[in-house]
Chain A
Amino acid sequence: MRLLLDRFPELAPTLWTDEDTVEVCIEGDTNVAVLGRLRDDAELTFWFLADAAAVDYGVDQHLEVVYHLYSDRHPAWLRVRARVDRANPHLPTITGLWEGAMFHEREMYDMMGIIFDGNRDLRRIYMSPDYRSFPLRRDFLLPDDAADSPAAGVNPLERPETWDLTRLGEGLAPGAMVQGEGDS
């Protein structure tokens, strides 16, 4: 960790640790430079990209790409959180550093709509090519979130003490179903 601070003094304010993880936050467009230095530095040698995932912090917040790195010289996972602007979700690709980040980036693009500049193969990986939405974003509407659903805005698990078991099933009348969202 001391070594990390030596190499990256500018990241010191964002440093955070728990029992087996060291975490730093960076700006999105510096990801290639930072990860490349982490990988190639003779003493840091974070040679293995364990995971690359995207997180959505809400409609009025930012997106984030989280890289987990491993090095056999250090006992902890290194988590690098790259901040991505929600209105302009562009980020340089890291497929030049680890070729295997390709599928991760395709998945992030598919699920969160983050665009990796320079990626040669940025297309949808799970959903069909003509799909329009980004399902893992927080503003993606699930059928039971729809405004005309009887369960709109209520998470019953939040307040179990209010459960009225005698009234269970009342909201399930055919008319109350969300139109057009059921199985066809």
Chain B
Amino acid sequence: MTTEPQIRDPLEIERAEEARLRTAAGLPPIPRSAGEFAGFESVGLPDRPPQTDRERDVYTLDEGEMLVNMGPQHPSTHGVMRLVLKVRGEVVVDIDPVLGYLHRGIEKLCENATYTTVMTYVDPMDYLSSMHNEHAPAIAFEKLYGIKAPKRAEYIRALVVELNRVFSHALMMGFLALDMGGLTPILYGFINRDEVVDLLSAISGQRMLFNFFRVGGVNFDANDEFISRLSTWRAGVLKNVDMNERILTDNEIFRGRTIGMGVLSGKEAIALGVTGPSLRASGVPFDVRKAHPYSIYPELEFEVITQPGGDVYSRYMQRIAELKQSIHLIDQIVDKMPHGAVQAQVPGIIRPKPGRAYAAVESPRGLYSVYAISDGGPNPYRFRMRDPSFVSLQAIPKLMPGRLIADTMAVMASFDPVMGGVDK
């Protein structure tokens, strides 16, 4: 695997040359100033003293450095996030992600909602994996309440969850190319997505915010329209994905910009809490579906896929491999699906016994988990969600120093963050 050549800083070259000449002439070296705190006005904020050491470091500028805002309305920040870039010319020196532009206080909202209505609040969190967002609370609340969903409901859950993973990964392929200037793959990505979304709306009645999971089952059974559409979709989906792949996987420009870019080692990824496809692309075989099986995943046959590289290209290939794996999982689920009820008997307002429950699922972006505490009332006492893209974002300031500004988007898109989930 080739690594991208590091670009030498022109200022460093100049200084090295100057030092060489001065030593040759027998002069002492010039003392360098330590850099000055630049304040917040340069990025358009009211000035104030820095709050932490890290903030002081980011906003302290050496000679030739400057601060640039990327976002919050930047099209390739996947929502509204601001990256404060410290740059020297075209080279990134440091990055400080500023979050919270999409913060809606969903945890607080959920603490004031009943267990059933929590499902509607978690939907718009990570809006590209709404089904996964509902899956984890459903498992946690069932654990709290002490019921099990019927077998058919578990199969339908696994089915919609894998469908959701397919469209999320298909979109990621498109967004990664879009952020690097390739406009076509996103159109194929949206074709793939829309087909799946139509399928999911046939079973749940909604296009984006499905509100499909219930405590103790799912809202609707798989109807005939859904089943027939599913088989039509299944016949054509691999062709569409291949079409997308043909544009990107062997594309010279795409490979040139992604191979060796943003290499994250397995050790770093674990320390940073990166999960999901991005972690497996660094060679760590951690998949919650295998590591801590839930729902019906112990009954399905699949392997945890990993990539050795850890760069942007590996993360892209990992997504494609998992997309195809999900399609095979869907085949298995449809083959094995039993008959029966899809909803256990639960009252309208659920009052679990006081207790605590933790449930984690593998969302398209990694480990999505819910920690719920019940005090015996109709609302969760505490409802905590761990969103994978929130944690994965910490890798970006680690990977970018020494790279070009334009590659920031490629690296960011390869982690596939969704701001709705990051900001909760």
Contacts and interface: CB of A to CB of B under 8 A. Distances in A.
Interface in A64-118: 66, 68, 70, 72, 75, 77, 79, 98-104, 107, 111
B274 A50 contact: no
B36 interface: no
Interface stretch (A26-34, A123-131, A170-178): A123-131
A39 to B, nearest CB: 10
Contacts of B356: 23, 79
Contacts of B273: 49, 98-101, 104
B272 A100 contact: yes
A49 B260 CA distance: 28
B-side binding surface: helix, strand, loop or mixed? mixed
B378 A68 contact: no
Contacts of B360: 50, 77
Which of A50, A66, A101, A121: most chain B Cβ within 10 A? Answer: A50
B54 A53 contact: no
Contact of B349 (A100, A104, A126, A160): A160
B386 A55 contact: no
A38 interface: no
A24 interface: no
Contacts of A104: 273, 391
Nearest to A158: B378
B384 A51 contact: yes
B52 A120 contact: yes
A164 B136 CA distance: 36
B99 interface: yes
- The number of chain B residues touching the other chain, given as a range, is 35 or more
B271 interface: yes
Interface string B264-293: 000000111110000000000010000110
Interface in B238-274: 270-274
Nearest to A145: B112
B283 to A, nearest CB: 14
Given A53-B384, A66-B371, A160-B349, A99 B394 contact: yes
A111 B53 CA distance: 21
Contacts of A20: 292
Contacts of A155: 378
B369 interface: yes
B369 to A, nearest CB: 5
B388 to A, nearest CB: 10
B336 interface: no
B55 A68 contact: no
Contacts of B382: 55-56
A27 B295 CA distance: 35
Contact of B371 (A53, A98, A99): A53
A22 B330 CA distance: 33
B103 interface: yes
B373 interface: yes
A123 B271 CA distance: 21
B292 A127 contact: no
A72 B288 CA distance: 11
A155 B379 CA distance: 10
B312 interface: no
A121 B53 contact: yes
A154 interface: no
Contacts of B274: 100
Nearest to B103: A126
Given A53-B371, A66-B384, A121-B54, 17 more contacts: A18-B355, A56-B382, A68-B369, A68-B371, A79-B356, A100-B273, A101-B273, A103-B391, A121-B55, A122-B52, A126-B99, A127-B100, A127-B103, A136-B107, A157-B114, A157-B378, A158-B377
6 contacts: A51-B369, A68-B369, A125-B100, A126-B423, A155-B378, A157-B349
For the complex of A and B, the 5 pairs showing the least CB-CB separation, nearest first, are A100-B273, A121-B54, A126-B100, A53-B384, A126-B103
Interface of B: 48, 51-55, 99-100, 103, 105, 107-108, 112, 114, 143, 270-274, 286, 291-292, 349, 355-358, 360, 367, 369, 371, 373, 377-379, 382, 384, 386, 390-391, 393-394, 423-424
Interface of A: 18-21, 23, 47-51, 53, 55-56, 66, 68, 70, 72, 75, 77, 79, 98-104, 107, 111, 120-130, 135-136, 140, 142, 155, 157-158, 160
